[in-house]
Amino acid sequence: DGGITQSPKYLFRKEGQNVTLSCEQNLNHDAMYWYRQDPGQGLRLIYYSQIVNDFQKGDIAEGYSVSREKKESFPLTVTSAQKNPTAFYLCASSIGQGGAGELFFGEGSRLTVL
């Protein structure tokens, strides 16, 4: 079955630690995205990539980093510079700029900072 796989589902981090969230897709989509979801707030875009080896900052990129070395993979690193990292993180993909805007989401990763 085609889809997006995020791991881990739940992650606990101590302050000052970097953590990496995995996102893999087998939909053959060109574009991939990372969103952050906080209670009562809309999804906020962290980073996106429309092609391998290229990515752009979204609205809230500070304290995060990404890479796109393979079409299928778009890992997100939450660095110690992110002041409020506790949130639900969603990875998504879409067929690209010419698509109908439909995003396909993974099941999310919940990060809690202890």
Partner 1 sequence: QKEVEQDPGPLSVPEGAIVSLNCTYSNSAFQYFMWYRQYSRKGPELLMYTYSSGNKEDGRFTAQVDKSSKYISLFIRDSQPSDSATYLCAMSPRIKAAGNKLTFGGGTRVLVKP
Q: Which amino acid is at 89?
A: Y
**Residues of this chain, 26-45, that bind partner 1 according to CB under 8 A:** 31, 33, 40-45
Confirm if 102 and 69 have CB atoms less than 8 A apart: no
**Is 2 an interacting residue with respect to partner 1 (CB under 8 A)?**
no
One of 21, 66, 78, 103 touching partner 1 (CB under 8 A): 103
> What is the nearest approach in angstroms of partner 1 to the Cβ of residue 111?
14
- Reading the block at residue 54, the tokens are 């290229």
Nearest to 89 by CA among 40, 26, 20, 3: 20
Q: Which is nearer to partner 1, 46 or 113 (CB)?
A: 46
